[in-house]
A and B are shown apart, each in its own frame.
Chain A
Amino acid sequence: MSNSIKIQVIYFAILRELTGLDKETFSIKQGNKPGDVLTSINERHEIDLGINFKIAVNDEFSDWDIELNEGDRLVFIPPVTGG
């Protein structure tokens, strides 16, 4: 598939525990957005994550509308609870 790209999802906190993984790779279509990846995560792990996350791509805050590129590192950021 010429229009297929690979991205890496890195999991933290509750997402790391729900998936049982620190990170994993997804093959997605060119033009796919974080919401498409979230759907794949839910299907692969049989969980039901909503959209109560911020998005980071390649260690920068991003947003749900961004089109992902080959090699991107995607993080779904749960509401933060530091301090």
Chain B
Amino acid sequence: MKEFKITSDSITLETAKDEVENRAIGARSVFEGVVRDTNDGHQVRKLEYECYEPLAIKEGNQILDEAIEMFDLIDAFCIHRVGTLEIGEIAVVVVATSGHRDEAFKGCRYIIDEVKSRVPIWKKEHYEDGETEWLKGAG
């Protein structure tokens, strides 16, 4: 069922896919955001995510409602990790189900774009040289 979740545990794709309504669907679009080893010329060692959880959950669920309405989705789900993540770990998964692929692709894309620009979650990079930095975002 529709839900936006925050977790400090490892995210697996299979678990995320099982969270949505999968009956009577014709398409299921899944997006994984993964921790990358470089950013802006820096070698990244690990990431730290912090979240303002009560507001993140409200805003995340609002985004899912918007996507279901706009793209006629059957169901939508998003889970975002917080805490310390190593390179290659999953930071976020979005799942959107619908009758046909076009709606599923568009709904999934809308959800991840809006989550990245609206949900109060912040990323701190830890670099190989020992420096750290909170990313500044789009402003």
Task: Give which listed residue, A10, A56, A75, A83, contacts B91 with CB less than 8 A.
Answer: A83
Contact A77 B58 (CB under 8 A): no
Binding stretch for chain A, among B8-16, B49-57, B67-75, B98-106: B49-57
Contact with B along A44-83 (1 / 0, CB 8 A): 0000000010001001110000000000000101111111
Contact B121 A77 (CB under 8 A): no
Contacts of A61 in B (CB 8 A): 55, 59
Interface size class of chain B, counting residues whose CB lies under 8 Å from the partner chain: 20 to 34
B136 closest partner in A (C-beta): A79
Q: Does B27 contact A (CB under 8 A)?
A: no
Contact with A along B79-105 (1 / 0, CB 8 A): 010000000000110000000000000
Interface residues of chain B, those whose CB is within 8 Å of chain A, are: 33, 49-52, 54-55, 58-59, 80, 91-92, 112, 115-124, 134-139
Interface residues of chain A, those whose CB is within 8 Å of chain B, are: 10, 12-14, 16-17, 52, 56, 59-61, 75, 77-83
